Amino acid sequence: MAGAKGTVFNIQRYSIDDGPGIRTTVFFKGCPLSCVWCSNPESQNLDPELMHRQSICKRCYRCVEACAEGAITVGPDGIEIDRDLCTMCGDCVEACPHDAMRITGKEMTVDEVFKVVERDVDFYRDSGGGVTLSGGEVLLQPEFALALLKRCKEAGFHTTLDTAGQGNTEGLKSLLPYVDLVYFDIKHIDPKIHRAQAGRTNEAILRNFKEVAASGVPFVVRVPVVPGFNDSSDAISDIADLVATTSPGATVHLLPYHRYGQQKYEMLGLDYEMPTADAPSQDFMKAACEIVKAKQLACKVTV
């Protein structure tokens, strides 16, 4: 299975926010959801994508000259990309001397990923860290995830699965024996509201959450608190009720909305749908945490 292939859009070394200790986080590309607040829009499409960073573009237009397909032209505001014509050949990336062009997403084998992951074995050992599989949605590529998890466990690495739960239950079940910790996102309990803002209903997510809770694998529920979506006492209480009923005493992390990924939408030629949204107030986040704790759950606000 070392030759199994998957699509990855980033491998982040020395990560301290994706599980215990110092970790390497492997970001899988592709996600069935389309959350309007997504901070990694480059994670949604399973295919590689061209990104252009206008803020560092020097308008030398070497990318225009390099594009044999005529997909890159000069418009009134600078570089314009016809993404229907683009073949992802990478010639524009090679031609750009300022790193304003890049392709996000690369097919990699388990061996190729593991060569990166194993570089930090000393950090894992000294910090109690390990490897985290994140996304995108890991469950969209279960065979690749399984092969990588097995390789990590053979090496003695602690493993964390970071998932939104939108995937096949059988695929999830195949991964759990090789996972030491699950980070599981729950965004909303109401399926209609979930579909309106995340692109799909949440039946599969809630089913998979119950599977994780029953598996015996330690888990943390993570709730992105998003304005106009679930930033209400009722929405937070509904999620806390589900967690408390399914797994009394579990831990919940509340993640306040931010706009850190907004520039990536422009780089992909996409519109950002929440340009004026503000992060939830500290007072609301504190109150939301108290709602969760009132259900006899552990809770903290993370950033």
Per-residue pLDDT averaged across 1-5, rounded? 75
User: Domains (ranges, CATH) in the chain?
Assistant: 5-46+105-301 (3.20.20.70), 49-102 (3.30.70.20)
Per-residue pLDDT averaged across 98-122, rounded? 97
The pair of structure tokens assigned to 33 is 């959801």
Q: Is the pLDDT of residue 1 over 70?
A: no
The pair of structure tokens assigned to 11 is 């491998």
Give per-residue pLDDT as tens, 201-240.
999 999 999 999 999 999 999 999 999 999 999 999 999 9
Q: Measure the CA–CA gap between 273 and 227, rounded to whole angstroms.
A: 12
Q: Which amino acid appears at position 185 of this protein?
A: D
Q: Measure the CA–CA gap between 145 and 108, rounded to whole angstroms.
A: 12
Q: Is the pLDDT of residue 2 over 70?
A: no
Give per-residue pLDDT as tens, 16-75.
999 999 999 999 999 999 999 999 999 999 999 999 999 999 999 999 999 999 999 999
